Structure 1
Amino acid sequence: MMDTQDTNLPLNEGKLEEEKNVPEVSEVKAEETPEETTEVKTTAAAGLQTKEEVLNRLKDLSEDAENASKQELDALKQTFYKLHKAEQESAKKKFIEEGGSEESFIPEPDTDEASFKSLMAEIKEKRSVLNAELEKQKEDNLQIKLGLIEKLKALVDCPEDVNKAYNDFKKIQQEWNEVKLVPQAKVNELWKSYQVYVEKFYDIIKINNEFRDYDFKKNLEIKTKLCEAAERLANESDVVSAFHQLQKLHQEFRDTGPVAKELRDEIWARFKNASTEVNRRHQQHFESLKEMEQRNLDEKTVICEIVEAIEYGELNSFIAWETKTQEIIALQNKWKTIGFAPQKMNVKIFERFRAACDDFFKKKGDFFKKIKEDMSENLEKKKVLCEKAEALKDSTDWKETSEVLTKLQKEWKTIGPVSKKYSDAVWKRFIEACDYFFDQKNKATSSQRSVEIENMQKKKMLIEKLATLDENMEASEAGNLVRETIKEWNSIGHVPFKEKDKLYKQFHELVDKHFERLNVSATNRKLNNFKSNISNVNGQSEKGGAQSLYREREKLVRAYEAMKNEIKTYENNLGFLTSSSKKGNSLVTELNRKVEKLKSDLHLTMEKIKVIDQSIK
């Protein structure tokens, strides 16, 4: 631009060439990207975890209402009421769990909500005042610029002394550049009117060529620097910041006067190319953001489908429900690590996931409620059995009463579990009645001791037989002999209690030694050992043996159900890895190995249960 001391240059009679190709900013300015504002403003709000954090943010915004955006305020409002609703749902759930009905639940007044509304109203009022002031300022600026156009028009229509006119013109230009914001709808129209009279001024006052060239030269220097600044923005790491900086450069480029006609296209092309690169990177940034949000949506959709696909018919035990609950919690934790989905789907996919989780925990609550009801019925059934056993405990009809009590014990095991609060007490009541009868029976049948001594001698002979077994005997013959010895051992009745463990240990050490030599499977050895254990337990007093067998059977049944559920969990995970994951083959192989081991243990456990059932028939 021309300094005032240069206005005394001689005039040239020739007319200044018109600057016809002055570009408007709208030709290269990138359209505002709606996702940008929403993404930037809502990210901070979405990261808040408590209502206190929301209120603190609102207090900050209240202090700086001028920079508070509607998008962020909307996001804060949405976050607050989600937290508010979650608190109410939690209180409602607790109320129902404590025995209250859903219809009678009345939420407690939320003092935070009053604070929230107060802050929102305060910010709204401040923003309203600020917006009104801003709009008034824009209107005032519009009138100022219209007045400057009128002054410029007067210079064009009634040119006086050239030096004075040029000084006035430069003053008008300076004032024009100092006035910034005007109503958006008037920007282009205002600029076009201004530019028309600027061009006419240069034409009408007939600035001499030196004066014009000097002005063109200064303008070229300014626009060259603006081009260089725009080109540097292509390397700016923050593409959003680069985009906003570019808008300011466009405003400066537009406010700078014309350059020589032969350089106009060149300088404009350079600036436009630099602008295009910044705009391209800005657009790519948001396209990349959209792709990432779509991937997040896909991941969240898969999680929703997993929860929605739960087979509730298979969840029929405490262990099954607890195992599945841990899976749901793991999915909820995974969900928290996934970023935002596209804005139009972000709330919908969350609502879908929350609905699926709510449905799961509601069904879990219904299941446990039904279990409690069943446990109450089971308790009543077991109390009836206690009464029957107590009515028989003083009987001296040893045979018939033994059979009746044995049947009651078998019936006991068919009844499902009772609450842990009562299980020990009711079991103790039942078993004490049974124990009392069998104690009396044992006292009346002490002649059995001589039989036990005889059985002990028989078992010692079998131990000696295995100890002297010829190791050179053919494998199949030796195996048959060992198995026949085990069968004979199991057929022998009780031995004196003090000798039972010692004889059992000696016998099974020899059996294991021969089986290892004959390469008999570990599963068969375990089962054979278990049969021997059961035989020894069965050899105790009838009351003690039956009690131990029932307890052992209940323990095996619980272990059996736990292994079934564990196998189901592993198989579900294998299916998920196969269809939805790119995990390595090593993980799949390890899971398959665990499943096979569990199936083998499951089979062995079932065989043990069958052994017990055969022993207590």
Structure 2
Amino acid sequence: KKAEQRAAIEAEQQKNYERKKEIIDKIIEMGSDVDNANRFFQQVRDLQNEFKEIGEVPAPVAADLWKSYQDAVEKFYDQLKINKELRDYDFKKNLSEKELLVAEADKLRAEEDVITAFRRLQELHEQWRSIGPVPKEVREEIWGRFKDISAEINKRYQTFFEERKARERENELAKEALCERIESYEFDKLSTYAAWDEMTKLIIAAQEDWKKIGYASRKSNNALFARFRETCDKFFAAKAEFFRGMKDTLSRNLEKKIALCERAEALKDSTEWRKTADELAALQKEWKTIGAVAKKHSDQVWRRFLAACDYFFEQKKKNNSGTRRTERANLEQKNEIIDKLKALDLETLGRENAIKAVKDLQAEWQSVGHVPFSEKDNIYEAYRAVVNELYQKLDISQRGSRMASFENTINEIGNDENRLYRERERLMRVYEQRRSELQTYENNMGFLSAKSKNAGSMLKDMERRMQRLKDDIADLEKKIAVIDSKL
């Protein structure tokens, strides 16, 4: 269809060309008949009007045709010396029209839209060509003014496109860098939700950066976007596949934990204290070997399992509650230890002897058995307060202080296996969380390459965070080992 339209346009332009050629030939013919110049004047004017009304001609011959027309008209007026008043009137009218075009062109200098100014200038040039000659004495001057203004606008137009080309090149380089950035991310080895979440943040950040960059050149913009989108699509497809696989794993883990809940609930009313305690302890150990479940079920299934275990051990504890006198005596002994700690004269003993005295009293505290449950928290708070004060005065490591505090807490629990298992389960969850966070940082360390901007400062910050996580993991391993030694 476009080919047919183009052929029709070309045919029309050729027809216009042939008619304009005939008009030029007639004007030349009339211009050669000097005796009948006045009689031909109106006919020439009519031919000029017809010439102006005829549409476009083929571009390759337009300039030559226009020059032939101008030459024919000028020769008719100049060489054949028609009526001077009519000629002067026509020249004056043409001059007035061209002055208006010059004024219109001059206004375009203030036009902020360079493309609009350029297109309007082309229209003015078309009108200029359709206007007849002006007096010879001003012909060069008025054309020079029009030409100078046109040159200025054309230069602005050229500069605009050169600057746009430079901006497009900058955008092209920026988009290439973004493509290289996300292509450097290794997401085929991610194995945890946290790692996938961190990587998702990086991908989304890259997509936001992409939106802030303007267009590149037409030939490269689409190709770069296809390249960028391909990597993003690969990532989200891989993420979806991982989550589908994890969903199946979480579902299987939930089934296993529900089965343990049912077994624990079947044992909770048993009065075979030793045997059932061992069986529940075995179930608790088996629970630890089962992986995570979906977050929406995690707390619910854990509370169900814990409720069954707590119920049994609470009944077992009530059955073995004949220890109140011993607990009261233990309370008095622990109060005496607190008084001894308060009475330590640090200046007289010296730092090393004072530290030894504190450690000895702490060891004595740990050797004392349970106190009444209603007094447990109060006595321990009083003990911890005086120990913390002594540690501060003696400048003993806070980490060591926290560890000693934890050991005291475990000693307070004593042989209550149910509470020990619950504390161990809590520590294991924190331990796995810290390990997952550490793995995420280690994965992210691999994402940062030499190509990454600000890689140095980010690496240092990540290394500091990783070291803190490693210290926490080491402390957790020691605490878990303390509990294991009691089980």
TM norm structure 1? 0.66
Aligned to 1:610: 478
The yes-or-no answer on 1:532 pairing with 2:408 is yes
Contact 2:168 2:217 in 1 (8 A): yes
Please state how far the C-alpha of 1:612 moved relative to its aligned partner: 2.5
Which of 280, 297, 314 is equivalent to 2:155? Answer: 280
The yes-or-no answer on 1:500 pairing with 2:385 is no
Work out the CA distance in 1 between the residues paired with 2:354 and 2:95.
109
Which of 314, 323, 328 is equivalent to 2:203? Answer: 328
Task: Judge which range, 274-283 or 515-524, deviates more.
Answer: 515-524
Aligned to 2:172: 297
Aligned residue type for 1:156:
G
Please state how far the C-alpha of 1:561 moved relative to its aligned partner: 2.8
Contact 2:341 2:358 in 1 (8 A): yes
Aligned residue type for 1:616:
D
Aligned to 2:391: 515
Contact 2:341 2:387 in 1 (8 A): yes
The yes-or-no answer on 1:543 pairing with 2:418 is yes
Work out the CA distance in 2 between the residues paired with 1:356 and 1:319.
20
User: Per the alignment, do residues 355 and 451 of structure 1 end up closer, same or farther by CA in structure 2, a change over 3 Å counting?
Assistant: farther
Contact 1:494 1:540 in 2 (8 A): no
Contact 1:567 1:599 in 2 (8 A): no
The yes-or-no answer on 1:233 pairing with 2:108 is yes
Contact 2:330 2:370 in 1 (8 A): yes
Aligned residue type for 1:305:
E
Contact 1:434 1:543 in 2 (8 A): yes
User: Per the alignment, do residues 262 and 157 of structure 1 end up closer, same or farther by CA in structure 2, a change over 3 Å counting?
Assistant: closer
Aligned to 1:343: 218
Aligned residue type for 1:497:
F
Please state how far the C-alpha of 1:241 moved relative to its aligned partner: 1.1
Please state how far the C-alpha of 1:153 moved relative to its aligned partner: 3.2
Aligned to 2:468: 600
User: Per the alignment, do residues 229 and 387 of structure 1 end up closer, same or farther by CA in structure 2, a change over 3 Å counting?
Assistant: closer
Work out the CA distance in 1 between the residues paired with 2:31 and 2:433.
102
Question: Which deviations, in whole Å up to 9, do the C-alpha atoms of 1:384-422 show, x marking residues without a partner?
Answer: 645665676677665565455434323321220123455
Aligned residue type for 1:554:
R
Please state how far the C-alpha of 1:428 moved relative to its aligned partner: 4.7
SS in 1 for 2:383: helix
Aligned residue type for 1:489:
W
Contact 1:390 1:433 in 2 (8 A): yes
Contact 1:567 1:595 in 2 (8 A): no
Question: Which deviations, in whole Å up to 9, do the C-alpha atoms of 1:446-471 show, x marking residues without a partner?
Answer: 34444433433332222112222224
User: Per the alignment, do residues 151 and 417 of structure 1 end up closer, same or farther by CA in structure 2, a change over 3 Å counting?
Assistant: same
Contact 1:527 1:604 in 2 (8 A): no
The yes-or-no answer on 1:193 pairing with 2:68 is yes
User: Per the alignment, do residues 541 and 173 of structure 1 end up closer, same or farther by CA in structure 2, a change over 3 Å counting?
Assistant: same
Please state how far the C-alpha of 1:270 moved relative to its aligned partner: 4.4
Aligned to 1:87: none
Aligned residue type for 2:370:
H
The alignment covers a number of residue pairs equal to 484
Aligned to 1:6: none
User: Per the alignment, do residues 450 and 287 of structure 1 end up closer, same or farther by CA in structure 2, a change over 3 Å counting?
Assistant: farther
Contact 2:434 2:469 in 1 (8 A): no
Aligned residue type for 2:393:
R
Match runs of 1:369-408 below 5 Å: 369-383=244-258, 385-386=260-261, 389=264, 402-408=277-283
Please state how far the C-alpha of 1:520 moved relative to its aligned partner: 4.1
Match runs of 1:138-149 below 5 Å: 141-142=16-17, 145-149=20-24
Task: Judge which range, 371-380 or 357-366, deviates more.
Answer: 371-380
Please state how far the C-alpha of 1:320 moved relative to its aligned partner: 2.4
The yes-or-no answer on 1:363 pairing with 2:231 is no
Work out the CA distance in 1 between the residues paired with 2:395 and 2:53.
100
Please state how far the C-alpha of 1:250 moved relative to its aligned partner: 1.9
Work out the CA distance in 2 between the residues paired with 1:243 and 1:205.
39
SS in 1 for 2:291: coil
Aligned residue type for 1:544:
R
Work out the CA distance in 2 between the residues paired with 1:551 and 1:607.
14
Work out the CA distance in 2 between the residues paired with 1:201 and 1:242.
36
User: Per the alignment, do residues 408 and 315 of structure 1 end up closer, same or farther by CA in structure 2, a change over 3 Å counting?
Assistant: same
Match runs of 1:297-316 below 5 Å: 297-313=172-188, 315-316=190-191
Aligned to 1:478: 354
SS in 1 for 2:215: coil
Work out the CA distance in 1 between the residues paired with 2:141 and 2:181.
60
User: Per the alignment, do residues 448 and 298 of structure 1 end up closer, same or farther by CA in structure 2, a change over 3 Å counting?
Assistant: farther
Work out the CA distance in 2 between the residues paired with 1:485 and 1:547.
28
Question: Which deviations, in whole Å up to 9, do the C-alpha atoms of 1:271-319 show, x marking residues without a partner?
Answer: 4333222122112212222222232233333333333332225532222
Contact 1:375 1:419 in 2 (8 A): yes
Which sections of structure 2, spanning at least 5 residues, go unmatched?
Answer: none
Quick check: which has more Rg, 1 or 2?
2
Task: Judge which range, 181-190 or 545-554, deviates more.
Answer: 181-190
Work out the CA distance in 2 between the residues paired with 1:480 and 1:235.
91
User: Per the alignment, do residues 268 and 552 of structure 1 end up closer, same or farther by CA in structure 2, a change over 3 Å counting?
Assistant: same
TM norm structure 2? 0.81
Task: Judge which range, 540-549 or 216-225, deviates more.
Answer: 216-225
Aligned residue type for 2:475:
E
Question: Which deviations, in whole Å up to 9, do the C-alpha atoms of 1:77-110 show, x marking residues without a partner?
Answer: xxxxxxxxxxxxxxxxxxxxxxxxxxxxxxxxxx
Please state how far the C-alpha of 1:358 moved relative to its aligned partner: 1.6
Work out the CA distance in 2 between the residues paired with 1:135 and 1:502.
103
SS in 2 for 1:254: helix
User: Per the alignment, do residues 218 and 429 of structure 1 end up closer, same or farther by CA in structure 2, a change over 3 Å counting?
Assistant: closer
Work out the CA distance in 1 between the residues paired with 2:145 and 2:296.
85
Work out the CA distance in 2 between the residues paired with 1:348 and 1:534.
64
Aligned residue type for 1:275:
S
What is the percent sequence identity of the aligned residues?
39
Aligned to 1:118: none
Which sections of structure 1, spanning at least 5 residues, go unmatched?
Answer: 1-123
Which of 21, 41, 44 is equivalent to 1:166? Answer: 41
Please state how far the C-alpha of 1:321 moved relative to its aligned partner: 1.9
Contact 1:527 1:608 in 2 (8 A): no
Work out the CA distance in 1 between the residues paired with 2:360 and 2:135.
116
Moved over 6 A (4+): 127-137, 208-218, 260-263, 394-397
The yes-or-no answer on 1:415 pairing with 2:283 is no
